[in-house]
Amino acid sequence: MTPSPAVETPRVEGPRVEASRAAAAPRARPMPFIPEVETCIHCGLCLNQCPTYRVTHLEAESPRGRIYLVKAASQGELDVTASVAGHLYLCLMCRACETACPSGVQYGRIAEAAREVLGPPGPPLQRWMVRTTLRHLMPSPRRLRLAAGLIRLAQRSGLVALARRVFPGRLRDRLAMMPEVSPRFYAPEAEVLPAIGARRTRVAFLSGCAMSLFFTDINEATVRVLRRNGCEVAIPRGQICCGALNVHNGEADSARAMARRNIDAFPDDVDAVVVNAAGCGAAMKEYGHLLKDDPAYRERAGRFAAKVRDAGEFLAGLGLRTAPQPVSLTVTYQDPCHLAHGQRVRAEPRALLAAIGVRLVEMAGSDRCCGSAGIYNVLQPEMSETLLREKMDAICATGAGTVVAPNPGCMMQLRYGAQRFGIPVRVMHLMDLLDQAGA
Amino acid sequence: MDRFELIRRLQAIVGQAYVLYRPDDLTVYEQDALMVARHTPDLVVLPEGTAQVSDVVKVARQARLPITARGAGTGLSGGAIPEAGGVVVALTRMTRLLELDVASRIALVEPGMVNADLTAMLAPHGLFYAPDPGSQVASTIGGNVANNSGGPHCLAYGVTGNNVLGLEVVLADGTVTWMGGRAHDAPGYDLTGVMVGSEGTFGIVTTVAVRLMPRREAVRTLLAVYETVDAACEATSAVIAAGMVPEAMEILDGIVMRAVNKTLHVGFPEDAEAALLIEVEGLAESVPVLIERVEAICRAHGARRIQTAATAEERLNLWKGRKHAYGAMGRVGRRTMMLDVCAPRSRLAEVMRKVLEAGQRWNIGVANFFHAGDGNMHPTPFFDFDDTSPEYARVIGLTEDIMRACIEAGGTITGEHGIGLEKREYLGWMFNERDIAAMKTVKQVFDPDGVLNPDKVFPTGRPVHGDPRAKAAAAAGQA
Ligand SMILES: Cc1cc2nc3c(=O)[nH]c(=O)nc-3n(C[C@H](O)[C@H](O)[C@H](O)COP(=O)(O)OP(=O)(O)OC[C@H]3O[C@@H](n4cnc5c(N)ncnc54)[C@H](O)[C@@H]3O)c2cc1C
Ligand code: SF4
Ligand code: SF4
C-alpha cells in the first residue's frame, strides 16, 4: 500500500520537527466548540469500519482520531496546521462511522463544521479552484449547462481522446474518470406532470445537477416510474443544485444560499420531495440543521427536510402499483454511503429489486465506500483508487453482470473502475431497472 | 541520540510514513477508551513484521526511551496510554493471517488482526475464535492477549488465555522468542500463561497461535425479562446452581436497554428493569432440551416474559444490542466510567444490591450490563460533570465503594479490562506486600530496566497522570 500524499510524512530535518507546530494553515479561523464532539466516548468501535483507517491503520485517519483533532483544536491545545486539515480532508465523508457508532455521534456534522472553518482542501491554487467552482458554478444551472456543453464538445470532437493519449499518467487517469456528458440535458416537458392512471399522491422531484447533465435518461426513468405508480410529479424550474458538495468542502455559506433558493423554489403542497441521488437526498434531509441559525428559514427548512425521500425509499413505502414484468437478471447492490449511512436506507432498494424478480447476490462490504465521495476521487486519487480496486474485487467475486448503485457519484466511479480494471460489469441505477421492468 | 537522529533511524526501519512526530499525529495517540487520563507520546512508530518490531525496540532502548505497545486503543484501563512518554509502538499495521491449519484448528495471526475480522475469515471453514469481547469489531488479538480479555461466550469457552497456544514475543532487549507453540501441551514452563495478561509490561507480542473452535450444530438464544436486576441475578445463580453452563449469560438493566433502543431496533423491552440474555449451543437434539430447562428456571425466578430468537437475524440482533451497550451509555450521560469487577456467582444479587445502594449514597446513576454467568460485573456510573470538576470526587468514592463490596464478598477488583493505569493504586487492596513483591520479581526478569509500559499495573504512590482526584482537588483549592 502506498499511503496517499496527505498521510505521507515529508523528509525531516531536525528543527522542522518542532517548526511544524507553527505551520498553521494561515487562512483558518480558530476552531469553535462543536457540541457533537462531546458525545464521543473514545470507545474506538468505529475504527475498523472507517475506509481510510482500514487502508492506513493510523489513528489520525480514523473517526475517533479526527474527532479528537477537532476537539483538541477547539480547546486551543492544537494549532490548526495544514497537516490537521490533511487528516480532515482524507476523510471521505462516507459516514460509515455513524453506522458503527453506538453512542450516536453525528460525525458528518462535526466534519462539516470543521471544514467550514478550514475552507476548501489543498494547496492555494486548488483551494481557489474548488472555491470558485463551488461558489460560482454550482449555484447556477445556466453556467453548469454551459460548462457541461463545452466538455461534451471536447468529448465529441475527439479532443479528450487525444488528450488521453498525450497527457501523462495522473492527468490521463483523471480524464478517464470523467463520464460522458448526456447528448441532451434533462428538460422535462412541463413543470407538473400528471399521474398515469389514478392519482395516489403529489410529489416534487429534484432533477439534480449531475443527474441532469450526465444521467438525463435516469431522471426520465425516475419520473416515468413515479407517474406510473400514481404520482403527480412537480419539477420546479427554479430549483438548483442541492449544495451537498459545498457543505462537504468547507463552503457552507454558499450551501446555505442554495438551500434557501431550493426551499423557495419547491412547492409546499407536496407529500414528498423525491430525490434519485443519494448524496443530494442526504444533504437535503439536513437542510433543517444547515439553516438552524437562520430565523427566517429555520422552520421552513425543517419542514422541507422532513419531506425529502430517496426515490427507492419513497417507492418502497408507497408500494409498487403495477405488477412489473419479472426481470431475469443477476445483480449485486452497492449501498451508496449517503443512502446506507447518511439516510439509513438499506432494505427499501433491496425490496424493490426483489419485487421485480431480479436475483440479488450480495457483495462483501456492500456498504463500504467505493472511493467516489463527491469530488474526492479527483482530490485524493490514490486513496480513492485503493478503495475502488477493493470494491471492484468484491463486485467481481459475486459473478453478477450488473451492479446497481442509486447515486450518480457511485455510478461514475464504478463505470470508471470497470473500465480501469477491465471488468465486464454493467452499472445501473435502481430507477433504470424499475423502468425497464415496467414498474 | 537527539530527536532528529532517533527519527531518522526509526524511519530507516519502518519507512518515513510510519514514524509519527507532528503534534497532531501524536495527540491522537494520547488516549484510549479510558476517558479520564491521557499523555502524549514523544513518537509513534508503526512497524510491519517481527523484525521491524525488534529493531524498533533496540533503537528505542539505545535512546533510553520507554516503550508502550498499542493495539486498537479500546482498552478501558488506560493500558495503551504512554504515561511515561517515549515511543508508542502501534501494531495496527500487522493484520495478517499467517497460517491457517483447518485440520488441527490452529491459526497463526499477527497481533494487529482485529478480533472480528479473524472470526469472519474463519467462517467459510466452519470455525471461529471463541473470545468475543464487546469490543471485538475493533480490538486487536494482541490487545486481547495483553489484557487477557473475555467476552459473553467465555463462560463456555474460556477467556483469551484458554484459547492461546503460543506467542512470538519481542523482549525488552529486542530479542525475538517463542513461548508455547502449536501443541496443546507444550513442555516446560508455561511462559505463554505468564505473558497473557501482562498488559505490555513483559514484551511485545508479534505473533499469536490461537486455538479455533468448530461451529456448533445448533444454537438457541433467549431473552428473559425481569422487573428488577436483583431477580435477574437470582435467576443466573439458579441456572448455574442447577449444574448448567450455557454458552453465555448476560444481564442488561433498563437504563441500558432503553439507551440501546435509541440507536438500534433490536427488540429490547422498553418498560422492563432487567433482562437476562442466554445462549445455549450444542447438538441439534440436545439444545431444545437444554433451552427448555433454562426457560423453566428463568420463569421460576420471576421472568415476566421470555422472548426466543426465532431466526439467525434475530439472534444477531440481540447480540448486537448487547455489544452496543457500553457505547450507548454516551446517550445516558455526558461522562461514563465503566468499571470491571467480579463477584462470586453465588453472591451476585447481594453485591448488585450494594452497588445500587452505593450509587444512591453518592447520588450518581449507575447502569449495569455484564457477564453474569461468570460474575464479571460492569457497573457504569454516568454523570454530567467533567472529570476536572470537584464533584468528580463522588465518582471516585462510588467506585471505591463498589470495589470494596466485591472484595468483601470474595470477588476481585478487575475481571477482564486489566489494571493498567486505572486500577494500579488499588492493587494493594487485593494483594499484600509479599504478593506484590513476587510479581515485581517476575517483571524484573522480563524487563530489568523497566522500559516496557512503565508505571502500569503496580502502585506508584502517585495519582494517575491527569488523575481526576488531583484535578478535582486543585479545582477545589482554587475555588
Ligand atoms: C465498547 C467496549 C467493550 C469492551 N468489552 C470488553 C469485554 O467484553 N471484555 C473485555 O475483556 N474487554 C472489553 N473491552 C476492553 C478492551 O476492548 C480490551 O481490553 C481489548 O482487548 C483491548 O484491545 P486493543 O487492541 O484495543 O488494545 P489496546 O487498548 O491498544 O491495549 C491494551 C493493552 O494491551 C497492550 N498491548 C496491545 N497490543 C500489544 C501487543 N501486541 N503486545 C503487548 N502488549 C500489547 C497495551 O500496551 C495495553 O496495555 C471493551 C472495550 C470497549 C471500548
Ligand atoms: S464509535 Fe462513536 S463514540 Fe466510539 S470512538 Fe467512534 S465516534 Fe467515538
Ligand atoms: S466519514 Fe468515512 S472516512 Fe470519514 S471518518 Fe467516518 S468512516 Fe472514516
Let me know whether A383 and A416 are in one domain.
yes
Query: What pTM was estimated for this model as a whole?
Result: 0.91
Q: Do domains B218-328 and B333-478 have the same CATH topology?
A: yes
In a domain, A389, yes or no: yes
**Burial letters for B66-97: b for 16+ Cβ neighbours within 10 Å, e otherwise?**
bbbbbbbbbbbbbbbbbbbbbbbbbbbbbbee
Q: Are A98 and A28 in contact (CB under 8 A)?
A: no
Class of domain B3-90: alpha beta
The 10s digit of each residue's pLDDT in A302-325 is: 999 999 999 999 999 999 987 778
- Do the chains contact at A20 and B35, CB–CB below 8 Å? no
Give the Å distance between the CA of A94 and the centre of ligand 3. 5
Number of structural domains in chain A: 4
Q: Is residue A4 part of a domain?
A: no
Chain B contact present for A25, CB below 8 A: no
Final residue of a domain: which of A118, A151, A167? Answer: A118
Q: What pLDDT is attached to residue B25?
A: 97
CA distance linking residue B172 with residue B65, whole number of Å: 12
Same-domain status, A346 and A415: yes
Mean pLDDT value across residues A208-213: 84
> Tens of pLDDT along A37-87?
989 999 999 999 999 999 999 999 999 999 999 999 999 899 999 999 999
Same domain, A258 and A355: no
pLDDT single digits (tens) A91-144? 999 999 999 998 899 999 999 999 989 888 888 888 888 888 888 888 888 888
The CA distance from B369 to the nearest CA of chain A, in Å, is 15
Q: Is the model's pLDDT at A9 over the cut of 80?
A: no
Residue A215 lies in a domain: yes
CATH number at residue A379: 3.40.50.1860
Compute the distance between CA of residue B170 and CA of residue B179 in angstroms, rounded to an integer.
Answer: 11
Q: Where in chain B are the domains? A: 3-90, 97-214, 218-328, 333-478
Contacts of A100 in chain B (CB under 8 A): 137
Class for the domain spanning B97-214: alpha beta
Confidence label for A11 from pLDDT (cuts 50, 70 and 90): very low
For the segment A184-207, the average pLDDT, to the nearest whole number, is 91
The CB of A51 under 6 Å from ligand 3? The reply is yes
> What is the predicted pLDDT for the residue at A14?
33
Query: According to the CATH classification, is domain B333-478 in 3.50.50.60?
Result: no
- Note whether A263 and A151 are same-domain residues: no
Ligand that lies nearest to the alpha carbon of residue A105, given by its number in the listed order: 2
Shared domain check, A312 and A199: yes
Phi, psi of B71 (to 5 degrees): -100, -120
Domain range enclosing A294? 192-316
Domain co-membership, A212 together with A290: yes
pLDDT digits (tens, 9 = 90+) for A279-289: 999 999 999 99
- Domain assignment present for A2: no
pLDDT tier for residue A170 given thresholds of 50, 70 and 90? low
B112 touches chain A (CB under 8 A): yes
> What's the CATH number for B218-328?
3.30.70.2190
B462 and chain A: CB distance < 8 Å anywhere?
no
Q: Is the CB of A52 under 6 A from ligand 3?
A: yes
Asked if the structure places residue A186 within a domain, the reply is no
Element spanning B57, H or E: helix B50-62
Is A207 a domain residue? yes
So what's the pLDDT on residue B389? 83
Q: Which pLDDT band holds residue A21 (cuts at 50, 70, 90)?
A: very low
Determine the longest span between alpha carbons in chain B, in angstroms: 70
| Domain assignment present for A10 | no
Q: Which of A59, A66, A103 to mutate to test the pocket of ligand 2 (most atoms within 8 A of CB)?
A: A103
- SS3 label, residue B470: helix
Q: What is the pLDDT of residues A383-438, one digit of tens each?
A: 999 999 999 999 999 999 999 999 999 999 999 999 999 999 999 999 999 999 98
Q: Is residue A5 assigned to a domain?
A: no
A53 Cα: distance to centroid of ligand 1 (angstroms): 18
What is the domain-level CATH number for residue A70? 1.10.1060.10
Residue A6 has pLDDT above 50, yes or no: no
Per-residue pLDDT tens, chain B, 479 aa: give them.
889 999 999 999 999 999 999 999 999 999 999 887 889 999 999 999 999 999 999 999 999 999 999 999 999 999 999 999 999 999 999 999 999 999 999 999 999 999 999 999 999 999 999 999 999 999 999 999 999 999 988 888 999 999 999 999 999 999 999 999 887 777 788 999 999 999 999 999 999 999 999 988 899 999 999 999 999 999 999 998 998 889 999 999 999 999 999 888 888 999 999 999 999 988 888 899 999 999 999 999 999 999 999 898 899 999 999 988 988 888 888 888 889 999 998 898 899 999 999 999 999 999 999 999 889 999 999 998 887 788 888 999 999 999 999 999 999 998 889 999 989 989 999 899 999 999 999 999 999 999 999 999 999 887 775 555 555 555 555 44
Note whether A253 and A200 are same-domain residues: yes
In this prediction, residue B303 carries a pLDDT of: 93
The 3-class SS string of chain A reads: CCCCHHHCCCCCCHHHHHHCCCCECCCCCCCCCCHHHHHCCCCCCCHHHCHHHHHHCCHHHCHHHHHHHHHHHHCCCCCCEHHHHHHHHHCCCCCHHHHHCCCCCCHHHHHHHHHHHHCCCCCHHHHHHHHHHHHHHCCCHHHHHHHHHHHHHHHHCCHHHHHHHHCCHHHHHHHHHCCCCCCCCCCCCCCEECCCCCCCEEEEEECCHHHHHHCHHHHHHHHHHHHHCCEEEECCCCCCCCCHHHHHCCCHHHHHHHHHHHHHHCCCCCCEEEECCHHHHHHHHCHHHHCCCCCCCHHHHHHHHHHEEEHHHHHHHHCCCCCCCCCCCEEEECCCHHHHCCCCCCHHHHHHHHHCCCEECCCCCCCCCCCCCCCHHHHCHHHHHHHHHHHHHHHHHHCCCEEECCCHHHHHHHHHHHHHCCCCCEEECHHHHHHHCCC
Residues A87 and A159 reside in one and the same domain:
no
A128, A114: one domain: no
- A235 and A300: one domain? yes
- B234 Cα: distance to centroid of ligand 2 (angstroms): 34
